[in-house]
Amino acid sequence: MEISQVEKIVAQFFIEREGDEIMKVIKKIDFVDEGIIDSLDIVSLAEYLQIKFNKKIDITKYETLQAFHSFNDIVKLVS
């Protein structure tokens, strides 16, 4: 599977938590519904993305929280 540099960086957050196996399903699953991230993890993910991409992530916005459900939407958020 070809993935971009941005995707690699986003994926690294989930690989560190879930292991390499997550890559088989990372583009298909809903991180929140699957219980992979909860509200505490959302804060950690936002911090991770802010530092890696030097971009503020506003998790008080509904749209941001919705984006955190899906890998592709997270990638769009930071691209």
- Spell out, one character per residue from 34 to 53, where the chain touches another protein: x when CB under 8 A holds, - when not: ----xxx--xx-xx--xx--
Instruction: Decide whether 5 or 60 has the Cβ nearer to another protein.
Output: 60
Asked if residue 58 binds another protein (CB under 8 A), the reply is yes
Q: Which of 5, 21, 33, 54 binds another protein (CB under 8 A)?
A: 54
Q: What sign for the dihedral angle of Cα 69, 18, 5, 53?
A: positive
Instruction: Decide whether 16 or 47 has the Cβ nearer to another protein.
Output: 47
